[in-house]
Structure 1
Amino acid sequence: MAPPKYDGLSHCKLALAFAVLMDLLGVTALLLGVFAPLEIGGRDFGDLLVYSGALLVLMSLGGWVLWYSGNIDGLMSGSKLGGAEGGAMDRLARNLSRRIRLPRSHSSPS
């Protein structure tokens, strides 16, 4: 059985969805905090939304980094770049990449 072919945005869909969702929520909260009059009981809650929106946008950066790094294809091996092939970091990166990118098959017990 041949491994599935990956095209376009099919790599790391969960990281992409997380990043887009955090960006949407963060920008919405930030804009509401800046432009909407949010006084409840004489207290202004605009600053809270501005800070939480900025935090959500920063959290989305992690999702974008995961999505981007999961979509890097065609990297040259260490020997082509002049480095040592099979180093500890090479093996760690390869193992992590395989865990992220390979689809998991769930076998149902018979």
Structure 2
Amino acid sequence: MAQKINGLPHCKFALVFAVVMDLLGVVSMLLGVFASLEFEGQDFGDLLVYSGALLVMFSMGGWVIWYSGNIEGLAIKKKSGGTMGRAFDRLARNLSRRIHLPRTESTP
């Protein structure tokens, strides 16, 4: 019997990070554009617009990690590389195991 997976199976932390950064960035940009934020005669609207754009750019990293972590069925062919290739593979595998949240089975 095939295992049923509800929702988004992998990289939930990256998804939450990306969504939160997008929300904060958009709110910051909208505040910078539409709110008149003056403090001691200086306008801080541009600062909010630029920092919001920076937050949205950071969120792109979260979206890329989330999307790449949810790609299923990619076969990785091992190359007969040196010890550096094996060390990198081990590091990537260990990092992936720490980030990956266990799947839960749903009962119909």
State the secondary structure of the residue aligned to 2:8: helix
Q: Report the CA distance shift for 1:77/1:65 in structure 2 as closer, same or farther (over 3 A).
A: same
Q: How many residues align?
A: 97
> 1:6 & 1:99 partners in 2: Cα distance?
20
> 2:56 & 2:67 partners in 1: Cα distance?
16
> 1:8 & 1:74 partners in 2: Cα distance?
18
CA apart distance, 1:20? 0.2
TM-score of the superposition, structure 2-length normalised?
Answer: 0.71
1:14 maps to 13
> 2:92 & 2:37 partners in 1: Cα distance?
47
Structure 2 residues not aligned, in runs of 5+: 103-108
Share of identical aligned residues, percent? 70
2:67 maps to 68
RMSD across aligned positions (CA): 2.5
> 1:84 & 1:51 partners in 2: Cα distance?
47
2:105 maps to none
1:82-110 per-position Cα deviation (integer Å, ceiling 9, x unaligned):
x549x52444433332332253xxxxxxx
Return the structure number with greater relative CO, CA threshold 8 A, min gap 6: 2
> 1:65 & 1:5 partners in 2: Cα distance?
25
> 1:60 & 1:67 partners in 2: Cα distance?
11
Structure 1 residues not aligned, in runs of 5+: 104-110
